[in-house]
Amino acid sequence: MPVTDLKNLSPDELVAFCAGLGEKPFRARQLLRWIYQRDVSDFSAMTDLSKDLRTRLAAVATVSDFAPVSVQTSRDGTRKYLFRLADGETVESVRIPMDEGRTTLCISCQVGCAMGCSFCLTGTFGLTRNLTPAEIVNQVCAARRDGPVNNIVFMGMGEPLHNLDNVIRALQILYAGEGLNYGPRRVTLSTSGLVPEMLELGRRVRVGLAVSLNATTDEVRDRLMPVNRRYPLAVLLEACRNYPLQPRERITFEYILIRGVNDTLADARRLVRLMHGVRAKINLIAYNEHSGSDFRTSCPEDVDAFQTFLLDHGLVAVRRASKGRDILAACGQLKAELDRSRET
Ligand code: SF4
């Protein structure tokens, strides 16, 4: 019988796994508490389980764990963790200090990414593989040892909707009261715009939705984000209008401002038009320049004018600093640096 990593199982699957061992559902709740709340991975330490059950579990199951192979801390307090996976691949997470002492953890869901966005270093590597649910939640478990994590965003390496089943399993573990106990309002998933999977996500699970938009014409978006050739702006925005939202929820649209590419007042005007009928919040993000790309970050005056136009036309538009610049915190950049230093 193959050994099952219990961190790969959603809470319901853990109940079924326990049933397979002839155990009642409350055993699954006990296991969740040991694994996620008490952070224990050794069955022999799970003292409220019978000795016999602990022995049987040790024969058929395991609880995987992550320890970072490198941690970099930025001047602004952002911390970047690099984890090595069992097959030697690496994956990264970023802990970002927010206002009022709160902390957001940005996690990855794939090794590499198939979406090929031209402004993103991860996009240039292509996709190596999906992360398992365990590899997704282990990033959270490891970061929590370094201090509380209030919010979680799926905005690291990878397109979460390209790994939908495993991401949904990970969300169920994050949400479980006996598991990591995050409410859906504290978790946000960012997509490049895979429309059918986005609508499936809305049907299957509740989570904050962010859409990486970055352009106001199909011509520019085709160039920045190849996914736009499959699901152009009109199709994407129509799906956003139909996305199931709770009464006070909004969809976040991320808009990375790139000098001379998408930051003109004509863009701001088109953006206002695109958002018609969408419960939207716009995050304006400064482009994080890196040596592998010719794109440049927008001038501060252009960012001011862009934001003012949106606000004057009734949109919620917030500026997000690109944190951790000095440790290359744009997605994929730490891994790229590490790979480079290994090659030399
Ligand atoms: Fe993938 Fe996101 Fe990078 Fe696009 S921006 S290539 S979706 S990781």
CA distance 77 to 337: 20
Confirm or reject: Cβ of 263 under 6 Å from ligand 1. no
Is the CB of residue 79 less than 8 Å from the CB of residue 95?
Answer: yes
113 is in an annotated binding site: yes
Is the CB of residue 214 less than 8 Å from the CB of residue 251?
Answer: no
Q: What is the 119 CA–ligand 1 centroid distance (Å)?
A: 8
Mutation pick for ligand 1 pocket among 118, 283, 331 (CB with most ligand atoms within 8 Å): 331
283 is in an annotated binding site: no
Closest ligand 1 atom number to CA of residue 123: 6
299 is in an annotated binding site: no
Q: What is the pLDDT of residue 324?
A: 52
Q: What is the pLDDT of residue 125?
A: 81
Confirm or reject: Cβ of 331 under 6 Å from ligand 1. yes
CA distance 227 to 220: 12
Mutation pick for ligand 1 pocket among 92, 117, 194 (CB with most ligand atoms within 8 Å): 117
Confirm or reject: Cβ of 211 under 6 Å from ligand 1. no
Q: What is the pLDDT of residue 323?
A: 57
Return the structure tokens found at 190.
């960012």
The string of DSSP letters for 12-81 reads HHHHHHHHHTT--HHHHHHHHIIIIIS----GGG-TTS-HHHHHHHHHHEE-----EEEEEE-TTS-EEE
Mutation pick for ligand 1 pocket among 94, 128, 192, 214 (CB with most ligand atoms within 8 Å): 192
Computed over every residue of the chain, the mean pLDDT equals: 91
Return the structure tokens found at 174.
């994050």
Q: What is the 35 CA–ligand 1 centroid distance (Å)?
A: 31
Q: What is the pLDDT of residue 290?
A: 74
Look at strands 110-112 and 127-130 and give their pairing. Answer: antiparallel
Q: Catalytic residue, from 18, 109, 141, 331: name it.
A: 331
3-class SS at 84?
strand
Q: What is the 332 CA–ligand 1 centroid distance (Å)?
A: 9
* Sequence letter at residue 150: N
Name the residue at shortest CA distance from atom 6 of ligand 1: 123
Confirm or reject: Cβ of 158 under 6 Å from ligand 1. yes
Q: Catalytic residue, from 23, 92, 135, 254: name it.
A: 92
**pLDDT beneath 70: ranges in the chain:** 1, 321-344
214 is in an annotated binding site: yes
Q: 102-144, pLDDT tens digit by residue?
A: 999 999 999 999 999 988 877 788 999 999 999 999 999 999 9
What is the ipTM for the molecules in this complex?
0.99
| pTM confidence score | 0.92
* 331: annotated active-site residue: yes
Domains and CATH numbers, the chain: 4-62 (1.10.150.530), 68-327 (3.20.20.70)
CA distance 166 to 9: 10
141 is in an annotated binding site: no
Q: What is the 24 CA–ligand 1 centroid distance (Å)?
A: 42
Angle between helices 233-242 and 195-204 (to 10 degrees): 10
Closest ligand 1 atom number to CA of residue 119: 5
Distances 207 to 202, 235, 287 between C-alpha atoms, Å: 8, 21, 26
* 219: annotated active-site residue: no
Q: 77-89, pLDDT tens digit by residue?
A: 889 999 999 999 9
291 is in an annotated binding site: no
Closest ligand 1 atom number to CA of residue 113: 1
Angle between helices 133-144 and 164-175 (to 10 degrees): 40
CA distance 342 to 344: 6
